[in-house]
Amino acid sequence: MTTRRNLLYAAPLAAVALAGAGFYTILRRMQSNDYDPHALPSPLIGKRPPPFTLPGTNGQQGFSNTDLLSPPRPMLVNWFASWCGPCAQEAANLDILAQNGLTIWGIAYQDSPAATAAYLSQYGNPYTRLAADASGLTAINWGVYGVPETYLIDKAGIVRWRWAGALTDQVLMGTLGPMLHQYA
Amino acid sequence: MIPELGHFALALAVAIAFAQGVIGIFAPGLRDPSAMRAAPALALSHFLAIGAAFLALIYAGVVSDFTVENVADYSSSLVPLIYRITGTWGNHDGSMILWCFILSLCGATVAAFGHNLPASLRARVLGVLGLVSGGFLLFTLTVSDPFTRLWPPPLDGAGVNPILQDPGLAFHPPVLYTGYVGFSVAFAFAIAALIEGRIDAAWGRWVRPWALLSWCFLTSGIALGSWWSYYTLGWGGYWFWDPVENAALLPWLSGTALLHCAIVVEKREALKAWTVLLAITTFSFSLSGTFLVRSGILNSVHSFAAAPDQGLFILALLGVTIGGSLLLFAFRAPVLAATGMFSPLSRESALIVNNIFLCSIAAVVFTGTLYPPFADLLFGIQLSVGAPFFNQTVLPLTAPLILAMAIGPLLPWKRAALRPALERIWVAALIALVVFVVMTGESNYITALGLAGGVWVILSAITDIAERTKFLRVPLRDSATRLTALPRAAFGAALGHAGFGVMVCGIAGMTLAAQKVIILAPGQSTTMAGYTWTLDALHDAPGPNYAARIADVTISAHGKPFLSLHPSRRIFVNPAGVTTNDAAIHTNFFQDIYVVFAAEQSGGAELRLNYHPLAPEIWFGGLIMALGGALSLSDRRLRIGAPARAKVKKPESLPA
- Residue-wise pLDDT for B22-33, tens only, equals 999 999 888 888
Q: What is the pLDDT of residue B234?
A: 59
- Provide the pLDDT confidence category of residue B249 given band limits of 50, 70 and 90: very high
- Provide the pLDDT confidence category of residue A174 given band limits of 50, 70 and 90: confident
* Contact call for residues B236 and B230 (beta carbons, < 8 A): yes
| Residue A3, min C-alpha distance to chain B (Å) | 10
Mutate to test the interface with A, among B274, B288, B326, B392 (most CBs of A within 10 A): B326
**Helix (H) or strand (E) run with residue B27 in it:** helix B2-30
Q: Kindly state whether residue B76 falls inside one of the protein's structural domains.
A: yes
Superfamily of domain A53-183: Glutaredoxin (3.40.30.10)
Q: Rg (Cα) of chain A, in Å, rounded?
A: 20
Contact A85/B234, CB-based, under 8 Å?
no
The residue out of B161, B180, B196 marking a domain boundary is B161
Could you tell me which chain B residue has the CA closest to the CA of A5? B334
Tell me, what's the ipTM?
A: 0.73
Whether pLDDT at B649 is above 60: no
Residue-wise pLDDT for B548-578, tens only, equals: 889 999 999 888 888 899 988 888 776 666 6
**B337 C-beta neighbours (distance < 10 Å), count:** 10
Contacts of A12 in chain B (CB under 8 A): 277, 280-281, 326, 329-330
Helix (H/G/I), strand (E/B), else coil: B124: helix
Whether pLDDT at B631 is above 80: yes
- With b for 16 or more beta-carbon neighbours within 10 A and e for fewer, the B149-187 pattern comes to eeeebeeebebbbbebbbeebbbbbbbbbbbbbbbbbbb
Mean pLDDT of B440-457: 89
Q: Kindly state whether residue B286 falls inside one of the protein's structural domains.
A: no
Contact B386/A10, CB-based, under 8 Å?
no
The residue out of B161, B182, B207 marking a domain boundary is B161
- Name, in order, each residue with C-beta under 8 angstroms of B407's C-beta and a sequence gap of 6 or more: B350, B421, B422, B425, B460
Whether pLDDT at B433 is above 60: yes
Q: Kindly state whether residue B539 falls inside one of the protein's structural domains.
A: yes
* Contact call for residues B68 and B62 (beta carbons, < 8 A): no
- Name, in order, each residue with C-beta under 8 angstroms of A62's C-beta and a sequence gap of 6 or more: A53, A54, A55, A56, A129, A130, A131, A132
**For strand A103-109 and strand A75-80, is the pairing parallel, antiparallel, or unpaired?**
parallel
- Provide the pLDDT confidence category of residue B301 given band limits of 50, 70 and 90: very low
Contact B608/A121, CB-based, under 8 Å?
yes
The residue out of B613, B628, B648 marking a domain boundary is B613
Q: Which of residues 48-107 of A touch B (CB under 8 A)?
A: 81-86, 88-89
* Contact call for residues B194 and B326 (beta carbons, < 8 A): no
HSE-CB for A42 with a 13 A CA cutoff? 29
Contacts of A121 in chain B (CB under 8 A): 517, 598-599, 606, 608
Range of the domain at B25: 1-161
- Number of structural domains, chain B? 2
Cβ of A2 under 8 Å from any chain B Cβ?
yes
Residue-wise pLDDT for A89-105, tens only, equals: 888 889 989 988 899 99
Q: Kindly state whether residue B409 falls inside one of the protein's structural domains.
A: no
Q: Kindly state whether residue B403 falls inside one of the protein's structural domains.
A: no
Contact B384/A42, CB-based, under 8 Å?
no
When CB atoms are compared, the residue of B296, B319, B330 closest to A30 is B296
- Find residue B601's DSSP bridge partners: B604
Q: Kindly state whether residue B10 falls inside one of the protein's structural domains.
A: yes
